[in-house]
């Protein structure tokens, strides 16, 4: 009798302990594969955005404190500090540049942050540069609002949800405006960042250096 009661009690407790697994959206799966679950503990993100070719180099550095909504832009000519919740006219160009550079660095997280954008259903497709069969999803922005309204991005990712390439289509045009790789991934305090973004031909390379992620 006691043995039967013990078995019944064990079954009841086991049932109570079982929790249904969270069903992640595609955006969450891609973001989490790049370390999004660790972002809540980030207090400072430092990086330098570079575009290198055979003959030229362009670079600007950033210090972003997301919890304080504070951004610092450092260039050879100037240093600008502003609050992302209150962008004044004098910091408008800096904010435009920051949104662009941050987007390249943290594209997987933008899938979560940019709630106004729509994400298509994934399909299998040949990646434009590597020619590999990858998963493809299209991120489309509304035609109004933001710095680049109506733009679209075809994002190619592997079965581990790591982004490999993308196609940028300005104003959702049919023809590509830019095609780049996402490569040379490195992890910084649990955040995976593709440090290099190259075109299929030529020496053009948009890349990130001086990356530092500080957590609390």
Question: What are the tens digits of pLDDT across the range 120-179?
Answer: 999 999 999 999 999 999 999 999 888 889 999 999 999 999 999 999 999 999 999 999
> Which residues on adjacent β-strands are paired with residue 209?
48
pLDDT for 174-208, tens place per residue?
A: 999 999 999 999 999 999 999 999 999 989 999 99
Residue 107 CA, chain-centre distance (Å), reads: 2
Question: Can you list the positions of beta strands (E) in the chain?
Answer: 42-52, 57-65, 70-74, 79-83, 118-119, 123-126, 133-140, 152-157, 163-169, 178-181, 183-188, 191-198, 205-215
**pLDDT above 60: residue 4:** no
pLDDT in tens, 39-63: 999 999 999 999 999 889 999 999 9
- Of 45 and 87, which is predicted with more confidence? 45
Distance CA 121, CA 156 (A): 12
| 8 A C-beta contact, residue 163 and residue 110 | no
In this prediction the pTM is 0.89
Residue 17 confidence class, pLDDT cut points 50, 70, 90: low
Closest CA to 111 of 195, 176, 199, 33: 33
Residue 98 in this model has a pLDDT that exceeds 90:
yes
Is a pLDDT exceeding 50 seen at residue 2? Answer: no
Strand, coil or helix: what is 181?
strand
């Amino acid at each position: 009798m006691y043995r039967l009661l013990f078995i019944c009690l064990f079954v009841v407790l086991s049932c109570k302990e079982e929790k249904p697994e969270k069903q992640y959206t595609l955006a969450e799966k891609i973001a989490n594969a790049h370390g999004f679950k660790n972002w809540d503990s980030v207090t400072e993100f430092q990086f330098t955005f570079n575009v290198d070719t055979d003959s030229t180099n362009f670079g600007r550095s950033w210090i972003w404190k997301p919890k304080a909504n504070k951004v610092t832009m450092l260039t050879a000519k100037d240093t600008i500090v502003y609050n992302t919740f209150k962008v004044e006219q004098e910091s408008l160009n800096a904010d435009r540049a920051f949104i662009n550079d941050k987007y390249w660095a943290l594209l997987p997280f933008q899938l979560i942050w940019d709630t106004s954008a729509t994400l298509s259903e994934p399909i299998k497709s040949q990646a434009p540069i590597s020619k590999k069969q990858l998963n493809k999803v299209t991120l489309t922005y509304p035609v109004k609002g933001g710095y680049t309204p109506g733009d679209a991005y075809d994002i190619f990712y592997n079965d581990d949800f790591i982004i490999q390439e993308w196609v940028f289509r300005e104003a959702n045009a049919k023809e590509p405006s830019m095609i780049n790789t996402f490569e040379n991934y490195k992890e910084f305090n649990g955040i995976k960042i593709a440090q290099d973004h190259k075109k299929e031909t030529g020496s053009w390379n948009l890349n990130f250096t001086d990356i530092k992620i500080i957590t609390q």
